[in-house]
Amino acid sequence: MNAPILLAAAAPTAKQAELIYIWDKATPEAKAIIVCLIVFSVVAWTVMIAKALQMRRAKKLNQYFTAEYRTQKHVLDVFDRRVQAEGCPLFMVYQAGSLELDARLKNPDGGRKEQVSIKGIEHVRRTLENTVAQESLKLESGLILLAIAVSGAPFLGLLGTVWGVMSTFSHVAQAGSATLTAMAPGVAAALITTVAGLLVAIPSMFGYNWLVHNLRVLTVELDNFAQELISKMETEYLAD
């Protein structure tokens, strides 16, 4: 009567020690791969959190700047007021375009012309395009690490599993005994690397897709704003 009670009491302890047992049975190669995957996981989560905060801040600042920009009557009003909004992608595009336009409009005496030539507007357009590309690259930086985690972690885990199974079969063959008791610990320890690889890759995949979607939205906003800005500059300052 006491045997079932003892087994029931021992079951939770066995479950709690399961990962420790598998870790003890893992080969040094599998342990090294798991440590690498842990490093991958830390890097991936750090990148996801940092990029999510960066994009969230960029969205908020874009909204504030857009609301301020819409209230102005002339395209250079915000520039003339020396407004600063560091970290705002739309503002950086506006600031770069306004600086270039202001340079084209300046007179030798320090005044400002009323019109600018087509060549001057083309210089402003190229400046806006370059700034849009630079801001997009800033938002995109770091995503390559997530892409590496998504594509590389499962293969690294699979490498550990194949290596562990190969090692297990090799030991069984040398021992001359192919019992389940002899094979199960090694196979279980080998499979843990695949589990670790998937635990790294799955969150990284969801995070990467979400960040890429937000990056695409922000990039489209930058392109649209640049087109709107250059159109307004042409309307106000382009010579007929």
Does 228 score more than 50 pLDDT? yes
Does 18 score more than 90 pLDDT? no
Please provide the size of the chain in residues: 240
Does 80 score more than 90 pLDDT? no
Q: How much is the mean pLDDT over the chain?
A: 84
Q: How far is CA 52 from CA 41, 48, 208, in A?
A: 16, 6, 10
Q: How confident is the model at residue 11 (pLDDT cuts 50, 70, 90)?
A: very low
Give the per-residue pLDDT at 81: 86
> CA angle 101-106-109, nearest 5°?
170
Question: CA-CA distance, 86 to 35, in Å (whole number)?
Answer: 39
Question: CA-CA distance, 108 to 82, in Å (whole number)?
Answer: 22
Give the per-residue pLDDT at 192: 86
Q: How confident is the model at residue 10 (pLDDT cuts 50, 70, 90)?
A: very low
Which percentage of the chain shows pLDDT scores above 90?
Answer: 48
Give which of 148, 136, 102 is closest to 218, Cα–Cα.
136
Q: How confident is the model at residue 133 (pLDDT cuts 50, 70, 90)?
A: very high
Give which of 72, 23, 25 is closest to 196, Cα–Cα.
23
Q: What is the pLDDT of residues 144-177, one digit of tens each?
A: 999 999 999 999 999 888 888 887 777 777 766 6
